[in-house]
C-alpha cells in the first residue's frame, strides 16, 4: 500500500515551488516585495500559533521573521537610498528589538504591533514592484 502524503506537507511543497518560481523571475524591487510578503506571513502565523498556546520564543515563525528582517536590513542600498535608507534601517532595528522583547515577555500584542507597522512599508514596496 502506498503511503499517503499529508495534505499540509503537499500544500507546503507546492507553496515552496510557487515561491521559487516567483523569486527566479522577480526584479530587485520584486524580491524585496517577496521578502515583505514572507515577513507578514510569518508574523501572521506566529500570532496564530501563539494563540494556540505555543510560546513566541523558539517559534519557527518568530525565527523566520527575524531572519527576514536581517535580510532586509542587509539589503539596504545606502549609496542610492538617501534618507530613506537610514529610516528603513531604524525601522528594521526597532522591529527586531520589539520582536525579541515580545519573545522574552511572550507578548503577542507586540508582534501584532510590529506586523501593523511593517505592513504599510510592504504595501509601498508591492506598489514599486509592479
**Is it the case that residue 98 has pLDDT exceeding 80?**
yes
Residue ranges covered by each domain of the chain = 28-129
In the predicted model, is pLDDT for residue 30 greater than 80? no
Q: What is the pLDDT of residues 71-80, one digit of tens each?
A: 999 999 999 9
In this predicted model, what pLDDT tens digit does every residue of 34-68 receive, in sequence order? Answer: 899 999 999 999 999 999 999 999 999 999 999 99
- Provide CATH code, domain 28-129: 1.20.120.340
Rounded Cα gap, residues 65 and 88, in angstroms: 16
* Residue reference for cell 520589539: 98
Q: Is the pLDDT of residue 2 over 80?
A: no
For the chain, the distance separating the N- and C-terminal CA atoms, rounded to the nearest angstrom, is 48
Tell me the C-alpha distance between 86 and 6, whole Å. Answer: 45
Amino acid at each position: 500500500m502506498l503511503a499517503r502524503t499529508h495534505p499540509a506537507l503537499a500544500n507546503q511543497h507546492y507553496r515552496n515551488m510557487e515561491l521559487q518560481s516567483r523569486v527566479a523571475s522577480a526584479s530587485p524591487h520584486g524580491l524585496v516585495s517577496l521578502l515583505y510578503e514572507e515577513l507578514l506571513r510569518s508574523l501572521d502565523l506566529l500570532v496564530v500559533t501563539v494563540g494556540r498556546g505555543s510560546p513566541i520564543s523558539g517559534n519557527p515563525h518568530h525565527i523566520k521573521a527575524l531572519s527576514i528582517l536581517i535580510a532586509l536590513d542587509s539589503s539596504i542600498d545606502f549609496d542610492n537610498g538617501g534618507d530613506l535608507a537610514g529610516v528603513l534601517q531604524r525601522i528594521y532595528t526597532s522591529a527586531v528589538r520589539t520582536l525579541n522583547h515580545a519573545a522574552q515577555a511572550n507578548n503577542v500584542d507586540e508582534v501584532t504591533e510590529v506586523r501593523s507597522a511593517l505592513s504599510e512599508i510592504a504595501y509601498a514596496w508591492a506598489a514599486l514592484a509592479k
